[in-house]
Structure formats: C-alpha cells, structure tokens
C-alpha cells in the first residue's frame, strides 16, 4: 500500500486512537463525519479503519453516499499490517 496515494482515517474515539494507531493516519471519530464531509472531498483515496471494522463499515457507507472515494480497511491492526508489509 502506497501511503502517498491514500489517506488512512481512523474513525475510533480520540482515546482509542491514542492507545495505538496506524502511523500517518488521522483520527476523525465516526460521530464527526457528517460535519466534516468537506474535509474528505480534498483527500486522496480514503481507507477507513477502526477497532473491528464495524464503525469503518458504517463510515464507508456514509461517505460513499456523499461521493467520497473510500473503502473499509477493517481493523486498524489489519491496515497497519498492510502498510508495513
């Protein structure tokens, strides 16, 4: 995975994010997505992650409806393994 071509967004809470995250990812909690759609429009392809993949699945559905090029990466741990392999 080329980090120059994607933006990794972790949709967990700030507390969860501080406990561990993908290096270079940004934290935008799931509940803030509706207020921050414009931010996503300026991002490269977005890969969403969370703890298990459930919140990132919800985020992917919502952002896709807004016309954002995104995909569900699943858990942040799985995305971290892809980035570092």
pLDDT digit string (tens) for 41-78?
A: 999 899 999 999 999 999 999 999 999 999 999 999 99
Specify the pLDDT at position 49: 98
Residue 1 has pLDDT above 70, yes or no: no
Q: Which residues contact 77 (CB under 8 A, 6 or more apart)?
A: none
Q: Give me 38's structure tokens.
A: 């414009």
Q: Tell me what the mean pLDDT of segment 4-18 comes to.
A: 95
The pTM (predicted TM-score) of the whole model is: 0.94
**25 pLDDT band (50/70/90 cuts)?**
very high
| Sequence ranges of the domains in the chain | 6-83
**Residues 37, 59: Cα–Cα separation, whole Å:** 11
The CATH code of domain 6-83 reads 3.40.250.10
Dihedrals phi, psi of 12, to nearest 5 degrees: -75, 175
Dihedrals phi, psi of 33, to nearest 5 degrees: -55, -45
């Amino acid at each position: 995975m080329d980090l120059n071509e994607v933006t990794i967004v972790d949709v967990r809470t700030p507390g969860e994010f501080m406990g561990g995250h993908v290096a270079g990812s940004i934290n935008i909690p799931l509940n803030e997505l509706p207020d921050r759609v414009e931010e996503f429009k300026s991002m490269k392809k977005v890969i969403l992650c969370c703890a298990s993949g459930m919140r990132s699945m919800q985020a992917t559905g919502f952002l896709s409806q807004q016309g954002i090029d995104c995909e569900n990466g699943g858990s942040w741990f799985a995305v971290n393994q892809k980035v570092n392999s």
